[in-house]
């Protein structure tokens, strides 16, 4: 059981414009804010997952493209790449400049999108590595 003279909890790293108004709220209001913050965080995570699924559906290569890569002996398993996460990464095609298309791994890393080069779509267009590193 906490004593009545217990110290005030330390605040997370919040900007003053959030922390100062919170400190002026009643316990009931703070509990309501905490409930809302929890629900808002869950909603934002669902939105991010929906965005990821939608982007993947729009950009991921199809099975035919994956077979083409495998025939060229290019790894299509993220485990074979050092910096690519094994969960959530997918292969997409990016056009780096007009007419130049390349395969990339793409994945979400927090609020950012990351990618890693795989190979040119047309082997005659690039001289990059065609195998996992």
Read off the pLDDT of residues 7-59 as tens digits, 9 standing for 90 and up.
Answer: 989 989 999 999 999 999 999 999 999 999 999 999 999 998 898 889 888 88
132 pLDDT higher than 50: no
3-state secondary structure of 55: helix
The pLDDT, as a whole number, for residue 5 is: 67
The pLDDT, as a whole number, for residue 104 is: 96
Report d(CA 79, CA 122) in Å as an integer.
24
Predicted structure pTM score: 0.62
Report d(CA 121, CA 69) in Å as an integer.
9
List the 100-109 sheet strands across, edge first.
Answer: 90-97, 100-109, 112-120
The pLDDT, as a whole number, for residue 64 is: 92
Residues 6+ apart with CB under 8 A from 38: none
Structure tokens at 60: 């991921």
The pLDDT, as a whole number, for residue 2 is: 53
CA dihedral angle for residue 45, residue 51, residue 54, residue 58, rounded to 10 degrees: -140
What pLDDT, in 10s, does the model give residues 73-130?
A: 999 999 999 999 998 899 999 999 998 999 999 998 888 999 999 999 988 765 444 4
Bridge partner residues of 60 (DSSP): 92
Report d(CA 71, CA 22) in Å as an integer.
59
131 pLDDT higher than 50: no
């Amino acid at each position: 059981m906490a004593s009545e003279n217990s110290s005030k909890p330390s605040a997370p790293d919040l900007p003053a414009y959030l922390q100062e108004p919170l400190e002026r709220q009643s316990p009931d209001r703070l509990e309501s804010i905490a409930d809302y913050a929890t629900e808002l965080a869950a909603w934002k995570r669902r939105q991010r997952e929906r965005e990821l699924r939608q982007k993947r559906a729009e950009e991921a290569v199809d099975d035919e493209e994956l077979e083409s890569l495998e025939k060229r002996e290019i790894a299509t398993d993220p485990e074979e790449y050092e910096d690519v996460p094994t969960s959530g990464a997918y292969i997409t095609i990016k056009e780096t400049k007009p007419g130049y298309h390349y395969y990339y791994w793409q994945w979400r890393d927090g609020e950012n999108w990351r990618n890693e080069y795989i190979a040119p779509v047309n082997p005659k267009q690039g001289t990059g590595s065609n195998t996992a590193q």
